Every structure is written in C-alpha cells, then in structure tokens.
Amino acid sequence: MSKGTETRNRIIAKAAPLFNRKGFEGCSMQDIVEAAGLEKGSLYGHFPTKEALALAAFEYAWHETCAVLTARMDTVANAVEKLKIHVDNAVSRASFPGGCPLLNTITDTDDGHPAIRRMARDAFREWRSLLESIVKEGQARKEIRADIEPADVVALMISLLEGAMVLDRLEKKSGFREKAGRHVMSYLDSIALPQA
C-alpha cells in the first residue's frame, strides 16, 4: 500500500469517530488534523473539501459497524438464528465511538449536506434489504411464519435497536439496549415455525 493511501486511511480512521461524536459542524478540520497527526495543508491533497472527508468517514464508520453487526451470522443456517445473532451483535458488540453512525448522520444532516444524507440513506436501505432477504429466505424455508410481513420484522428490529442505542447514551445504566434485545428475541421466537 502506498504511503498516500496509508495516510488517507489514517485520516479517515481518526476523523470518523470525531465526526460521529461531534457532528459535521461541531467538528473542525483542526480537530481532525490534530487527531491524525498532520498539518492542515496536508489534508487538501487527500480530500478536496470537508464534506468529501465526512463522506469517506461515514463510509468507513458504517463499514466497520456493518462488519460487527453481521459477524457470525453465517455460522448458522436458520433465518431466525441469523437474526438473533444480528440482534446480539447490535446489543452487545456494536460500539463505534459516538454511537451508531447511521443514526448520528441522519440527525446531523437533517438540514443540509445532501450528499452525506444520501449516503446514509443508501446504507440504511442496504441494511433493510439484508434483513428483509433473510426473513424472506426464512419464510421460503418454512422457518418463519408465512403470514408475517418481512418489512414489519425489519422495521421493528431496526427502529427498536436504534432507538434504544440512542437513549442508552443518555443514561448509561438504564439498560435500554438489553431490554430492546430481549424484546426482539422474544418477538423473533413468536414468528418462528417449529423445525423438524
């Protein structure tokens, strides 16, 4: 890997948590160069603008988060089991500094920065598609009740998990994430079909 790419990656890796914690406006280029250990002018060669850097940072943060969320899912075949692992990852393992990059980016770019917002929306759609396809596969394989609307399952999972993750940051010991996890787990049980 070339030196420039290395530096670029370092910048992104250092910038992503900052953007995620402080938001686009709340995070200055100065903060980033200090975190990355280089000087202001050096950024220009790698990212022409702050928005370009924020885009790359979100991409990185979401990629990292997705890796955690989807980990170990392919170790099981059953759709419900897959989803449970996903939930467990979200509840117990996901911990990008500053909270869920997707949710943070949505609230941060509510006004302005359409390019970043678009990227967040795409990430969101991918996430939904992934879960939906698992649900559908499960239905095809008689693991999940056929009368269930896949979109409803996905909506519950994502909404509840995201909401709990945000609120958990306000009160560290409230245990919202665990509660959300338990609720989803029992919901998944309620839509599962008994396997032979």
Give the angle subtended at the CA of 41 by the CAs of 40 and 45, to the nearest 5°. Answer: 120
Footprint on residues 30-49 left by DNA (CB under 7 A): 30-31, 38-46, 48-49
Give the angle subtended at the CA of 37 by the CAs of 31 and 38, to the nearest 5°. Answer: 90
Q: Per rule CB under 8 A, is residue 163 in the interface with its own copies?
A: yes
Name which of 54 and 164 has its Cβ closer to DNA: 54
Q: Find how far residue 113's CA is from the centre of its chain.
A: 19
Task: Write each residue from 140 to 159 as x if it is in contact with its own copies (CB under 8 A), else as -, in one continuous string.
Answer: -----------xx--xx-xx
111 binds, among DNA, its own copies, none (CB under 5 to 8 A by kind): its own copies
What contacts 102, CB < 8 A, 6 or more positions away? 62, 65, 120, 123, 124, 127, 162
**Rg of the chain, C-alpha, whole Å:** 19
Q: Per rule CB under 7 A, is residue 106 in the interface with DNA?
A: no
Name which of 48 and 175 has its Cβ closer to its own copies: 175
Q: What is the dihedral of CA 175, 181, 185, 187, to 10 degrees?
A: 90
Q: Per rule CB under 8 A, is residue 88 in the interface with its own copies?
A: no
Task: Write each residue from 14 to 33 as x if it is in contact with its own copies (CB under 8 A), else as -, in one continuous string.
Answer: -------xxxxxx-------
Calpha distance 184→87 (Å, rounded)? 8
- The token pair at 166 is 């945000």
Q: Per rule CB under 7 A, is residue 9 in the interface with DNA?
A: no
Helix (H) or strand (E) holding 73: none
Give the one residue of 4, 37, 45, 112 binding its own copies; rule: CB under 8 A: 112
Q: Per rule CB under 7 A, is residue 28 in the interface with DNA?
A: yes
Which chain residues interact with its own copies by CB under 8 A? 21-26, 98-99, 103-104, 106-108, 110-112, 117, 120-121, 124-125, 151-152, 155-156, 158-164, 166-167, 169-171, 174-176, 179-180, 183
